[in-house]
Every structure is written in structure tokens, then in C-alpha cells.
Amino acid sequence: MILMVDDDDDVRDSLLEFLQDHGHRTIGAANGVEALALLDSLDEPPCLIILDLMMPGMDGGTFRGQQLRRPALANIPVVVVSAYKDVEDRARELDVVRCLSKPIDLKVLLQIVEKTCALASSG
């Protein structure tokens, strides 16, 4: 399962649909607070979190800090997606697997998802 965290309903829904069309189970959250609540309610953690940085309520950086402080969630890989011009610098500070600039290259995203989730299921 993949968790997509983005406050833009259209972006979130289209990415969830894209990943579902490629055989992945997905869930979505509109911000960090909603994402943490979802993660706490799941029986099994997702194999990947796709995380926007700019969100109201709890932004992606704050969410990542909270995630890393929770032992049950800390090892879930994160891919940051953002419209920030310095997305790579911001992502490096958050210790994430990859970062992608918006608009997202869907082919690259799918490759990351398949590689990351295959590693999670095998190990």
C-alpha cells in the first residue's frame, strides 16, 4: 500500500488513480495531521509515503519529523514531491528516498514506487 499526502485534491486523486491503475493499493491524506491519524489506524504500514511539502495544518517537513520520532513509522520510506525550487535541498534535510519536482514525471514516480515497494515486500 502507498500513502499519498497532498493537500491538492486533484493532484492527490489523480496520483492515487494512476498508481491504482498500475496495480498498487493506495490511500490518501490531505495533510500531515490526517496522514499521521491514518498511519496510526492501519494494521500494516504502507511500503511508501509520497509526501508534498507545502500543506496547511501540518506541512510535509513537520510530518516527516513526527514520523521519524515514532518507532513504528520511522522506517517507512518517503518520496518528497514539491513545487519548491529548492526541493532537493529541502528533501536532503528530511532524509528521504527521493524527491521529485512538480509537475511529477509519472514514469519516474512509477519506477520509484515499484522499486521501493518491491524491496519492502522482499525484506
12-51 burial, b at 16+ Cβ within 10 Å, e below that, comes to: beebbebbeeeebebebbbbbbbbbeebeeeeeebbbbbb
Can you give the pTM of this predicted structure?
0.93
Domain segments of the chain: what residues?
Answer: 2-114
2-114 has which fold?
Rossmann fold (3.40.50)
Q: What is the pLDDT of residue 94?
A: 87
Q: What is the pLDDT of residue 73?
A: 96
Tell me if 41 sits within 8 A of 86, measured CB to CB: no
Q: What is the pLDDT of residue 121?
A: 63
Q: How far apart are CA 5 and CA 83, in angstroms?
A: 14
Nearest Cα neighbor of 35 from 4, 61, 76 is 4
pLDDT tens digits in sequence order for the chain, 123 residues long:
999 999 999 999 999 999 999 999 999 999 999 999 999 999 999 999 999 999 998 999 999 999 999 999 999 999 999 887 777 777 778 889 999 988 999 999 999 999 999 866 654
Nearest Cα neighbor of 52 from 1, 109, 107 is 109
Grid cell 492527490 is found at 12
